[in-house]
Amino acid sequence: MPEVHVKDLHKKFGDVTVLNDINFTIKEGEFFTLLGPSGCGKSTTLNSIAGLESPTSGSITVGGVPFVDTAHKLYVPTEERNLGMVFQSYALWPHMTVEQNLVMPLAIRKVSKEEKASRIYEALDTVGLAHLKDRFPHQLSGGQQQRVALARALVYSPSVLLLDEPLSNLDAKLREQSRAWLKRLQVDLGITTVYVTHDQDEALSLSDRIAVMFEGKMAQIGTPAEIYEKPATAAVAAFVGSCN
Ligand code: ADP
Ligand code: MG
């Protein structure tokens, strides 16, 4: 059984269709990337998995649990989905220390005090920042903030990690370093990852498989080699072959 199963997903904002019949499955432990130009519907797809957007129709199942099934009026609220999410802007709380930022997701989940402390230590240790737990976000570099956001997403042991352009606010050099580090972490943790980017190099270097989207539609799903060497359409070839 796939870990993530998105079936016949449609989303309209008013009269505008932004997702048109999106289908894909993701295997357990896979690094799966939604790739496409700005506005093609990547974030809307990811947010639908996260429970931050409700699709107009379709179904989403994660780990065998139906999260959304519009045909049966089923909708599991976001806080019950056990997913870790990192946004483009990291969205750390600026008035809280690193440690306090990590406490918040656990506070909602009713975890004991001892477990909280050990989970926070483990999550920060995973991203190599346990020694900075008392700093505030403005006292961290962009790369460190990004790692804290990742630790916060990992702190309650999510089944799936959802990452929406997490490297796009970093400068080119740091982006390159973070890429390698992120891939290593994902492999070490063995966590199923849904990654969103408009950067074809990033997608090709990080992913087990890539789903290329244009204008709310799925153009092609395949391994980086398949996408690069056998693009299904001229649009995929042009997008994947172009340089940033
Ligand atoms: P991407 O992440 O690929 O850049 P999005 O999923 O954010 O694309 O957006 C897809 C399309 O849906 C865009 O045309 C965007 O303007 C539109 N859109 C996204 N969110 C909303 C919203 N809340 N209301 C209306 N239109 C939206
Ligand atoms: Mg987006």
- Please report, in tens digits, the pLDDT of each residue of the chain (244 residues total): 679 999 999 999 999 999 999 999 999 999 999 999 999 999 999 999 999 999 999 999 999 999 999 999 999 999 899 899 998 877 799 999 999 999 988 877 778 889 999 999 999 999 999 999 999 999 998 889 989 999 999 998 898 999 999 888 888 888 888 888 889 889 998 999 999 999 999 999 999 999 999 999 999 999 999 999 999 999 999 999 865 4
Nearest ligand to the CA of 36 is: 1
SS3 content of the chain, % helix, strand, coil (to 5): 40, 25, 35
Rounded to whole angstroms, how far apart are CA atoms 69 and 72? 6
Q: Which residue's CA is the nearest one to ligand 1's atom 15?
A: 39
Structure ipTM: 0.98
Q: What separation in Å is there between the alpha carbon of 39 and the centre of ligand 1?
A: 6
- Ligand 1 binding residues, C-beta < 6 A: 13, 18, 36, 38-44
Rounded to whole angstroms, how far apart are CA atoms 145 and 139? 9
Q: How many CB atoms lie within 10 A of CB 71?
A: 9
Which pLDDT score, from 0 to 100, does residue 7 have? 98
Quick one: how many helices (H) and strands (E) in the chain?
8, 11
**DSSP letter for each residue of 87-111:** -TT----TTS-HHHHHHHHHHHTT-
Which pLDDT score, from 0 to 100, does residue 20 have? 98
Amino acid found at 162? L
Residue in 40, 44, 52 to alter for ligand 1 test, most ligand atoms within 8 A of Cβ: 44
- Output the six-digit token pair for 168: 């796009």
Which pLDDT score, from 0 to 100, does residue 244 have? 47
Residue in 13, 22, 52, 85 to alter for ligand 1 test, most ligand atoms within 8 A of Cβ: 13
Nearest ligand to the CA of 16 is: 1
Nearest ligand to the CA of 38 is: 1
Amino acid found at 231? P
Are 130 and 138 in contact by the 8 Å Cβ rule? The answer is no
Q: Which residue's CA is the nearest one to ligand 1's atom 24?
A: 13
Q: Which residue's CA is the nearest one to ligand 1's atom 12?
A: 18
- Output the six-digit token pair for 54: 């409700």
Q: What separation in Å is there between the alpha carbon of 191 and the centre of ligand 2?
A: 22
